[in-house]
């Protein structure tokens, strides 16, 4: 960055009509003592803060490109300064306020930051509070849109950059985002390279590009929390230039350090003798679990919709005699995985509710990542393991039901089944003049159903009907339903690729949350009722 230092005579009495030139990167010195105040002729008026009545100095800066500019009086300034920035021309009524400041700097010093528009001329007034005068130091820094890395060999090369700002990275580029959570002031972190050298340290929030020296497995990310209760919803995420997430997580407790791999390398268990050996892993992450002979590794995947852990919900694996053989919870964050070794046998997986059971969900998978079962808080799920036979497992034995358990041997009446028209392929036929009862209770979300309007999105499960168009105007409504909040979506085409025609949320006369819609029935239509 160019650093230019200049001095101006203390009694030069520069006015708005004869400003000194100023450029990005300048550090200049001046004095306002003995300078005649020119407020009456310059047209300088209150701009964020009032204009002083003592002497002033004027400068002019023409923006070399779009960007931002920061000007302050830090350094050798010896009085209570004020800064004002204008566009326009000198003279009463001609100056246009951009920004101003009195004491945003250290003590009684001033600092302003404003957006630059390429080619625009800015008039900068340095004055004092009330009639204050004295000596000042003026510092100008710019962050220009044309600044950046101009070397095509760098991983952060910018095609739009004209001025090389020294930021070129010839190692590995990563974007690090650290969110603040509930108490951002408590958050701290340090990124260290494989040799133990500190690359970057900071707090929250943070969003910036990190230049890593090389492709390697040995990076460490140390997290701290000043209060000792974790990051309270704060998270970290490393993303490569292609948008791939190379690492993400949070902190539970006072401190923790995680290993990270960058440059396309993947973390996992690299021990070929471990039960959870991952042949695709380049870097060992310390997750290896070696089960004893006759045992197989069970993965418990935990999810929390709000991202703050399970809030007291706990899972248990019980053997056939009711003994707890494994247990755990999601202490914080959105996801977590625990690997447990289990011998051949019959087991029951149970999850307590915790404080917010609606946020809790889980999956059981074997070490080959095959799904064993899934569910929510409050569930009990039985399963046979490692080829065990003769297990007596109560559960839902109906394959069409939402809580079907393929391991269940005895139906215990717990089946939660969706409506018959839960799926588009099973839409119920309806016709003109009909009043058709229905329900969305236990229905499922529809991945293929697309809203016609982002402001009326499909946000919950629904059920399906089909209607043969006649070319006439048709009205559909849920206005006679006993309360609730509904939406109606009309689709043409078939279930494999439905095309939204129209929709309605709260269209019934008299207000409320029920739906009513009219459309010309030119097609064979599928209709979705839900919210």
CATH number, domain with residue 364: 2.60.60
DSSP state of 3: -
Residue 79 sits in a domain of what CATH number? 2.60.120.380
Q: What is the CA radius of gyration of the chain?
A: 34
Mean pLDDT of 310-316: 95
Shared domain for 489 and 524, answered yes or no, is: yes
DSSP summary character for residue 167: -
Cα–Cα distance for residue pair 436/439, rounded to 1 Å: 10
121 and 42 in a single domain? The answer is yes
Give yes or no for residue 1 having a pLDDT over 50: no
The answer to whether residue 22 sits within a structural domain is yes
Tell me what the mean pLDDT of segment 428-449 comes to: 85
Sequence-distant (≥ 6) Cβ neighbours of residue 61 within 8 angstroms: 21, 22, 23, 24, 69, 121, 122, 124, 140
Of 411, 435, 453, the domain-final residue? 411
Question: Using DSSP, how many helices (H) and how many strands (E) does the chain show?
Answer: 1, 39
In a domain, 279, yes or no: no
3-state SS class at 351: strand
135-144 vs 380-385, strand pairing mode: unpaired
CA 178/CA 274 separation, integer angstroms: 33
Cα distance between residue 57 and residue 12, in whole Å = 9
Judge whether 416 lies within some domain: no
Q: Do residues 331 and 222 both lie within one domain?
A: no
Q: For residues 56 and 35, state if they share a domain.
A: yes
Q: Which of 353, 383, 411 is the last residue of a domain?
A: 411
Clarify whether residues 407 and 430 are in a common domain. Answer: no
**Cα–Cα distances in angstroms (integers) from residue 379 to residues 182, 247, 323, 376, 419, in the given order:** 31, 31, 18, 6, 21
Q: Under DSSP, is residue 387 helix (H, G, I), strand (E, B) or coil?
A: coil
The CA angle 199-203-208, to the nearest 5 degrees, is 60
Give φ, ψ of 358 to 5 degrees.
-65, -20
- Tell me the C-alpha distance between 297 and 288, whole Å: 11
Residue 452 has pLDDT above 80, yes or no: no
pLDDT of 466 above 90 = no
| Section 188-198 average pLDDT | 94
Q: Examine the domain organization and report whether 134 and 88 are in the same domain.
A: yes
| Number of domains into which the chain is organized | 4
Domain interval for residue 342? 288-411
Q: Which of 468, 471, 479, 474 is nearest to 502 (CA)?
A: 474
What is the arrangement of strands in the sheet containing 345-351, beginning at the earlier edge strand? Answer: 324-328, 315-318, 345-351, 380-385
Q: Is the pLDDT of residue 54 over 80?
A: yes
Residue 149 located in a structural domain:
no
Query: Mean pLDDT for the chain?
Result: 89
Give the per-residue pLDDT at 456. 58
Do 139 and 78 share a structural domain? yes
Residue 26 sits in the same domain as residue 126: yes
| Burial annotation 381-417 (CB, 10 A radius, 16+ → b, else e) | bbbbbeebeebebbbbbeeeeebbbebbeeeeeebee
Residue 154 located in a structural domain: no
In a domain, 359, yes or no: yes
Separation of first and last alpha carbons in the chain: 57
Sort strands 410-411 and 245-249 into parallel, antiparallel or unpaired.
unpaired
Q: Is the pLDDT of residue 423 over 80?
A: yes
pLDDT band at 19 (very low <50, low <70, confident <90, very high): very high
pLDDT of residue 507: 85
Say yes or no: 136 and 219 in one domain. no
Same-domain check for residues 396 and 472:
no
Q: Give the CA dihedral 71, 15, 22, 12, nearest 10 degrees.
A: -100
Residue 5, pLDDT score: 37
422 pLDDT higher than 60: yes
Question: Are residues 382 and 302 part of one domain?
Answer: yes
Region 25-48 average pLDDT? 95
Domain's final residue, options 351, 385, 411: 411
Is the pLDDT score of 4 beyond 50? no
Same domain flag for 14 and 64? yes
Q: Is the pLDDT of residue 362 over 90?
A: yes
In this structure, is residue 434 part of a structural domain?
yes
Residue 519 has pLDDT above 50, yes or no: yes
d(CA 169, CA 214): 10
Q: 448: pLDDT confidence band, cut at 50, 70 and 90? A: low
Task: Give tens-digit pLDDT for 326-351.
Answer: 999 998 778 888 999 999 999 999 99
Considering only 58-62, 101-105, 260-264, 359-363, which range has the smallest mean pLDDT?
260-264
Domain annotation covers residue 160? no
Lowest mean pLDDT among 31-45, 182-196, 276-290, 370-384: 276-290
């Amino acid at each position: 960055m160019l650093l230019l230092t200049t001095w101006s005579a203390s009694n030069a009495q520069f006015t708005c009509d004869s400003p000194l030139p100023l450029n990005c990167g300048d550090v200049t010195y001046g004095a306002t003592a003995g300078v005649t105040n020119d407020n009456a002729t310059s047209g300088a008026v209150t701009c964020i803060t009032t204009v002083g009545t003592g002497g002033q100095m004027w400068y002019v800066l023409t923006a070399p490109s779009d960007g931002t500019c920061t000007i302050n009086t830090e350094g050798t300034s010896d009085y209570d300064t004020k800064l004002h920035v204008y566009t326009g021309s000198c003279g009463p009524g001609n100056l246009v306020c951009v920004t101003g400041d009195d004491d945003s700097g250290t003590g009684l010093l001033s600092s302003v930051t404003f957006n630059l528009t390429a080619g625009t001329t800015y008039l900068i007034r340095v004055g004092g509070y009330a009639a204050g005068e004295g000596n000042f130091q003026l510092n100008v820094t710019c962050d220009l849109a044309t600044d950046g890395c101009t070397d095509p060999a760098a991983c952060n090369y910018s095609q739009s950059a004209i001025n090389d700002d020294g930021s070129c990275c010839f190692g590995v580029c990563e974007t690090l985002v650290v969110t603040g959570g509930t108490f951002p002031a408590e958050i701290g972190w340090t990124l260290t390279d494989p040799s133990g050298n500190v690359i970057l340290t900071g707090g929250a929030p943070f969003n910036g590009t990190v230049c890593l020296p090389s492709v390697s497995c040995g990076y460490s990310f140390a997290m701290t929390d000043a209060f000792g209760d974790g990051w309270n919803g704060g998270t970290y995420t490393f993303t490569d230039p292609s948008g791939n997430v190379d690492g993400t997580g949070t902190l539970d407790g006072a401190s923790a350090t995680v290993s990270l791999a960058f440059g396309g390398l993947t973390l996992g268990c690299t021990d070929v003798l471990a039960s959870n050996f991952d042949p695709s892993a380049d870097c060992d992450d310390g997750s290896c679990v070696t089960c004893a002979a006759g045992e197989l590794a069970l993965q418990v995947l935990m999810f929390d919709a709000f991202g703050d852990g399970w809030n007291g919900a706990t899972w248990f694996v019980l053997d056939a005699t009711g003994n707890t053989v494994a247990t755990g919870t999601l202490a914080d964050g959105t996801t977590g995985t625990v690997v447990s070794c289990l011998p051949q046998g019959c087991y029951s997986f149970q999850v307590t509710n915790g404080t917010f059971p609606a946020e809790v969900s889980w999956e059981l998978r074997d070490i080959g990542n095959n799904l064993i079962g899934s569910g929510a808080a409050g569930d009990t799920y039985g399963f046979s393991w490692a080829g065990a036979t003769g297990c007596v497992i109560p559960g839902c034995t109906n394959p069409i039901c939402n809580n079907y358990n393929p391991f269940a041997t005895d139906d215990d009446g717990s089946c939660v089944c969706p409506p018959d028209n839960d799926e588009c392929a099973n839409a119920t036929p309806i016709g003109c003049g009909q009043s058709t009862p229905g329900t969305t209770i236990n229905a499922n979300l529809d991945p293929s159903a697309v809203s016609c309007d982002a402001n009326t999105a499909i946000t919950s499960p629904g059920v399906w009907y089909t209607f043969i168009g006649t070319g006439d105007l048709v009205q559909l409504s849920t206005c006679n339903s006993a309360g609730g909040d509904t939406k109606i979506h009309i689709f043409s085409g078939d279930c494999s690729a439905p095309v939204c025609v129209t929709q309605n949320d709260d269209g019934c006369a008299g207000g409320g949350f029920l739906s009513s819609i009219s459309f010309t029935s030119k097609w064979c239509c599928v209709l979705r009722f839900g919210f």
